[in-house]
Each structure stands twice: as structure tokens, then as C-alpha cells.
Homo-oligomer: A and B are copies of this chain.
Amino acid sequence: MKKRLSISDIANNLGVSVTTVSFILNGKAKEKRISDALTKRVQDYVKKVDYKPNQLAKSLRTGKSKSIGLLVEDISNPFFANIADHIEKMAYDNGYHIIYCSMNNDEQRAKELIQLFRDRQIDGFVIAPTEGLSEVINSLIKQAVPVVLFDRPLADVETHTVLSENMNGAYVGTMYLLEQKKAKRIGFVTTTSTQSQMKGRLEGYMKAIDKVGMDLLVKKINPSLTDDDIAQQLQSFIADNKLDAVLFATNYLAVDGLKAIKKYQIAINNLVSFDENTAFALVEPPVSAISQNIKEIASEVVRILLSQINGKSTQIEQVVIPCDLIER
């Protein structure tokens, strides 16, 4: 790799000191009252030789790396992929870049990753946490590392969070099945995992069902089962309980549901899912969606994190973003 120019090369070649060059490069020319002529000469030369400062050295010196760690469960989940995309864009617009990782349900690995990111002098973290992460996240917070959690809070972690209105979203989705679709037996499909966003969604469902005094019909799916077993369980759930409508707690559960419906040729018309998925508009019957406002979630996450990094805000911000019901 051809040796890159350093700031002292620039200074030497121009016959000025590195300080001068550094000041000019960092926009402090005016402040340090460096002559316009010199400023221009340095800038022109820098452009001409296409000099780029070594960010590593800069970071080492300033303690800021201008990078943000993004940790999600699974980047191939369209919800996370879209969020990641937006966060990346907004961070970039603010001069930050993203280092991302999927945790893939591996708690040990997640912890290592967080540590690793710390060692790279990451300026802040954006995390959709899994349950075992409380301790390591708390230790970040104790060390005053900026952290923003999204999608789900962590019971024993007090920090900035950006969440969707899970309870209300599920409530609205259930009411839609009740009132528009005139459903009489509405099932709710969630996971066995106890992530708090799932709890909120269950509550929303229960609140709506309780309001009209219907039966609560809830199925918890263990995500580690095989596709076939899951399909089998869903088919029984729908058939045994004579459901005429189902609310799914998240997009991949709805996809599982659609697989079961197809495989067992189940006749059911009223389907609603939390989150979007390309398949929802395409299948017959289509799946309505309680759509999280991904753009706004991303923008709040970045806003809060940056204000943390820049030491602007001290109080803990907990933002809740409403969902939209997409009727299909």
C-alpha cells in the first residue's frame, strides 16, 4: 500500500508548521487568525495531493471515533434491516458511521461484541436488547457510555429508549378485527420468549377482548421448534379453537401462520400482524399490519444518541412512537 501523506509531510512541503495545517484543516483558521492567503494555500495543496487525515490517529488523540455500534438480533428480519438502513443514513448525515452486528440469539457473543466495540472506542450504542444483556448494558451506562435501546426496554436497565406503542397498536388491531371484520373468535399468537414488546402487544389484545367480554385465545410459539412443528401447532390452535381471526405479535410469526394456512389449507380470512412484511400484501387473504413507524423510530434513536454523545441532555428520554394500522 503506497505510503500515505501525513500532516507533517504537508507541513514540510509547504514550509509551515503542522499546527497551522491542523488548525486550518479543522476549520480553526479564523479563530486562530491565520492569514487568508496561507489558509487558501494550504487548502489548495491539500486538495491537490488529495490528503486525508488518518482518522485512527485523530480518534486516538481526541478520544472520539465518530462511530456508533448497532446491535440487533437478526439483520435479516425486515424490521431490523429497515431500521438499520435508516439509522445508518441519519448517522452518516451527522458525520457518524455505523458498525453493526447481529447477535443471533447468542448471549455470550453479544457480550463479547459489546466489549469489542468498547475497545474500538465506539462513541455510542444502539441496541435492540435481548434479555441476558442487562448486566453488560448497565456496566456501559455506569461508565457513562451513551446507550439508546429500541424496540424493547429491559426491565432492570434505566436508560434512553425508543419504543413503539405496542399496547395501543395491538388494541387498535384487535378492535379492527372486532368492529370492521366482525370477528367472533380472535386468537393471539406470540412467542414463548418474554421480551417486553411482546408483553405490551398481548396486553393490547387482552384489553380489547376483555372490553367486549370475549374469550382470550393465546398461543405461545417456541421459536426454536422446526418449521413443521410450528405449522402443526398453529393449525391446531386455529382449528381447535374455531378461530375466525388471528393477531400475530410479529411479522415472522405471521409468516409462520401463512405457511401453516397454506400447508393445511386452512380457511381463515381475518389476519393482522405486528410489523410489515412484503408477503402481507401479496397473499390471499392479505394480512393487515400494525406498522411501526420505522423512520421515526430511527430518527429518534439517532437524535437521542447524538445528544448524549455531545453531552447535551442529561435526563433520560423514553420516547414512544405510535403505530399505523394498514388495512388490507
Contacts and interface: CB of A to CB of B under 8 A. Distances in A.
Interface of A: 1-2, 52-57, 59-60, 65, 67, 74-76, 78, 81-82, 84-85, 88-89, 92, 97-102, 104, 109, 113, 115-116, 118-121, 143-145, 255, 258-259, 262, 277-279, 281-284
Contacts of A282: 255, 258-259, 262, 279, 282-283
Contact of A281 (B118, B259, B284): B259
The copy count of this chain in the complex is: 2
Given A255-B278, A258-B282, A121 B56 contact: yes
Given A76-B78, A85-B74, A283-B282, A55 B255 contact: no
A102 B76 contact: no
Contacts of A75: 75, 81, 84-85, 88
From A55, A84, A113, residue with most partner B Cβ within 10 Å = A55
A143 B97 CA distance: 23
Contacts of A278: 255, 277-279
A278 B79 CA distance: 14
A76 to B, nearest CB: 4
A121 B60 contact: no
A158 B118 CA distance: 37
Nearest to A280: B279
A236 to B, nearest CB: 20
Contact of A262 (B81, B84, B89, B281): B281
Contacts of A53: 119
Contacts of A88: 75, 100-102
A54 B281 contact: no
Contacts of A57: 60
A99 B101 contact: no
Given A75-B75, A89-B104, 14 more contacts: A1-B144, A53-B119, A54-B60, A55-B121, A56-B60, A56-B120, A75-B85, A76-B81, A76-B85, A88-B100, A92-B113, A100-B100, A259-B282, A283-B283
